[in-house]
């Protein structure tokens, strides 16, 4: 079984209906660590060595967050800036993450059709996630397609339950080695392929 690290970042978690349900659905699964960045680092003083140790202990890294202003919440950027150090994550001797898998699990307020050429947001979600893809590439990781839930403000309770269970199915498939990065086209959503 692969060990999965879910780096959860939601700055207003108390207002979340979907992300919190998704996280609660996977908490307690064997070989799955849910690490709440805002809970652990409310002051943004990230313990770099602790984070690097967590990365080293896991095979799959998931950046789970709402999609804010075409990016991630601020603590994710802070985490990248501090934790993915030269000599650890990249560079001549930086091979600690080599061969690990990485992906985003995100929620958006916008509908799927708004994330395309000619849509309200002008670009695909994959284009907005290119910095994550490139960071994974630089760190010699395999970047998988994202798990994406669009239009979260429109979801009813039954829909939320369904997407949380879909997320759990994806996590279990990753953990139980039922998928490989090469199985998916780059422009897919992981949830559309697995669920």
pLDDT tens digit sequence for 107-151 = 999 998 999 888 899 999 999 999 999 999 999 999 999 999 999
Cα–Cα distance for residue pair 128/8, rounded to 1 Å: 19
User: Among candidates 103, 91, 116, 123, which has minimal Cα distance to 60?
Assistant: 103
Q: Structure tokens of 62?
A: 């998931």
pLDDT tens digit sequence for 61-90 = 999 999 999 999 999 999 999 999 999 999
Domains of the chain: 4-194 (3.40.50.360)
């Amino acid at each position: 079984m692969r060990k999965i690290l879910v780096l959860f970042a939601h700055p207003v978690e108390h207002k979340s209906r979907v992300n919190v349900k998704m996280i609660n659905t996977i908490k307690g699964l064997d070989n799955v660590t849910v690490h709440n960045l805002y809970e652990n680092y409310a002051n943004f003083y990230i313990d770099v060595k602790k984070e690097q140790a967590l990365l080293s202990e896991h095979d799959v890294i998931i950046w789970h967050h709402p999609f804010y202003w075409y990016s991630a919440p601020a603590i994710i950027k802070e985490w990248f800036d501090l934790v993915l150090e030269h000599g650890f994550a990249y560079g001549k001797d930086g091979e600690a993450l080599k061969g690990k898998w990485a992906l985003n699990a995100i929620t958006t307020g916008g509908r799927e059709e708004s994330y395309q050429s000619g849509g309200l947001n002008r670009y695909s979600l994959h284009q907005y996630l290119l910095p994550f893809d490139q960071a994974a590439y630089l760190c010699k990781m395999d970047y998988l397609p994202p798990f994406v839930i669009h239009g979260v403000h429109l979801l009813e309770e039954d829909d939320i339950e369904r997407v949380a269970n879909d997320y759990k199915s994806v996590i279990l498939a990753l953990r139980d080695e039922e998928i490989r990065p090469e199985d998916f086209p780059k422009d897919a959503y992981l949830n559309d392929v697995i669920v």
